[in-house]
Amino acid sequence: MTQKTSTGITRRGLLGAFAATAVTAAPTYSNAAGFLRGAGDIRRIGMHSGRTGERLQTIYWIEGEYIAEAVREINMHMRDWRTGEAVQMDLRTIDIMSAALNLMETDEPYLLLSGYRSPQTNNMLRSSNRGVARNSLHMRGQAADLRLTSRSTTQMANAALACRAGGVGRYASSNFVHMDCGAIRSWRR
pLDDT tens, residue by residue, 26-38: 333 334 434 545 5
The widest CA-to-CA distance across the chain, in whole angstroms, is 57
- Convert the pLDDT of each residue in 132-187 to its tens digit: 787 899 999 999 999 999 999 999 999 999 999 999 999 999 999 999 999 999 99
State the pLDDT at residue 60.
97
Domain ranges of the chain: 11-188
CB burial class (10 A; 0-12, 13-18, 19+) of residue 66?
Answer: middle
Q: How far apart are alpha carbons 10 and 61 in whole angstroms? A: 16
Interacting residues of 155 by C-beta distance below 8 A, sequence separation 6+: 104
**130 in Cβ contact with 189 (< 8 Å):** no
- The 10s digit of each residue's pLDDT in 31-88 is 443 454 555 589 999 999 989 999 999 999 998 899 999 999 999 999 999 999 999 9
Q: How many other β-carbons are positioned within 10 Å of the β-carbon of residue 28?
A: 11
CATH class assigned to 11-188: alpha beta
